[in-house]
Homo-oligomer: A and B are copies of this chain.
């Protein structure tokens, strides 16, 4: 999506370790007008008439997923990071190794809010190795719900997560895929 690619080129920063920083408009300070445009763009790629729920993980996916859920007229559900002393019954949970936290993170969802008859669109701001996304897919499967698609704002294509989910057999769309980082120069994948 050219609008997003242009924005990353204009305002994104590359930090050591191939970290792509887009915290001026996507995941710290948030430009909700841009998110609305992303939410519109996603509708081209998923079976919107089937979707009953948008799912994301806390924390940085929530802003984009909220705008998407509002645009599509369905509830948003966000998986929470479990606090070790706060695990109750009635939950679906999945363990994820977080490279940001450098430790295991457990995502939880109340069984009350995700059901076998739900048709779920997962939305997240970033795709890297895909561990967090696998945790979300596991939660959808645990509930016996139907995964209808995965929508990502920015994918780091060279980290492999995106290609893993493209092979899943459900619609997958990342609106900007960064295939290479050389110094501060970014190469985006052709659409």
What is the chain B residue whose CB lies nearest that of A60?
B58
Binding-face segment, A63-71, A149-157, A166-174, A183-191: A63-71
Give the secondary structure class of A's interface.
mixed
User: A83 touching B100 by the CB < 8 A rule?
Assistant: yes
Q: Is the CB of A101 within 8 A of B83?
A: yes
Protomer copies: 2
A76 CB within 8 Å of chain B: yes
* Interface mask (A82-122 → B, CB under 8 Å = 1, otherwise 0): 01011000000000000011100000011011000000000
CB neighbours of A31 from chain B (8 A): 75
Whether A126 is near chain B, meaning CB under 8 Å from some CB there, is no
Determine, out of A2-10, A22-30, A41-49, A131-139, the stretch whose residues face the partner at the interface.
Answer: A22-30
B77-A29 in contact (CB<8A): yes
Chain B's closest residue to A103 (CB) is B83
Please determine whether B29 and A113 come into contact, CB atoms closer than 8 angstroms: yes
Which of B32, B69, B86 makes the CB contact (< 8 A) with A100?
A: B86
Report A66 CB to chain B, min CB distance, Å. Answer: 5
Closest B residue to A101 using CB positions = B83
Q: Determine the chain B residues whose CB is within 8 A of the CB of A102 once the complex forms.
A: 85
Residue A62 at the chain B interface, CB threshold 8 Å: yes
State whether A36 and B70 are in contact (beta carbons under 8 Å apart), knowing that A58-B59, A78-B30, A86-B100 are contacts in the complex: yes
Q: Check if A77 sits within 8 Å of B28, measured CB to CB.
A: yes
| A4 CB → nearest B CB, Å | 17
Select from chain B the residue with minimum beta-carbon distance to A53. B29
| CB of A80 within 8 Å of the partner chain | yes
| A32 in contact with B85 given A24-B112, A59-B59, A66-B67 (CB within 8 Å) | no
Residue numbers in B under 8 Å from A85 (CB-CB): 102
Closest 3 CB pairs of A and B: A32-B70, A58-B59, A59-B59
